[in-house]
Amino acid sequence: MSNGSNSNLDFKGRVAIVTGAGGGLGRQHALALAARGAKVVVNDLGGARDGSGGSVSAAQAVVDEIKAAGGEAIANGASVTDFEAVQAMVKQAVDAWGRVDILVNNAGILRDKSFAKMDLADFKLVVDVHLMGAVNCTKAVWALMNEQKYGRIVMTTSSTGLYGNFGQSNYGAAKLALVGLMQTLSIEGAKNDIRVNCLAPTAATRMTEDLFPKEMLEAFRPEAVVPAMLVLAAQDAPNRTILCAGAGTFEAAHITLTQGAWLGIEADTPEQLAARLSEVTDREGEAVPQSGAAQGANEVAKGMANAKRG
Question: Catalytic site residues?
Answer: 171
Closest CA to 149 of 188, 194, 182: 194
Helices (H), 206-283: 214-217, 226-233, 269-275, 277-280
DSSP assignment, residue 239? Answer: S
Residue 212 CB-density burial (10 A; 0-12 exposed, 13-18 middle, 19+ buried)? middle
Residue 46 neighbours by CB under 8 Å, 6+ apart = 22, 53, 54, 55, 56, 57, 58, 59, 77
Residues 25 and 206: their CA atoms lie apart, in Å, by 9
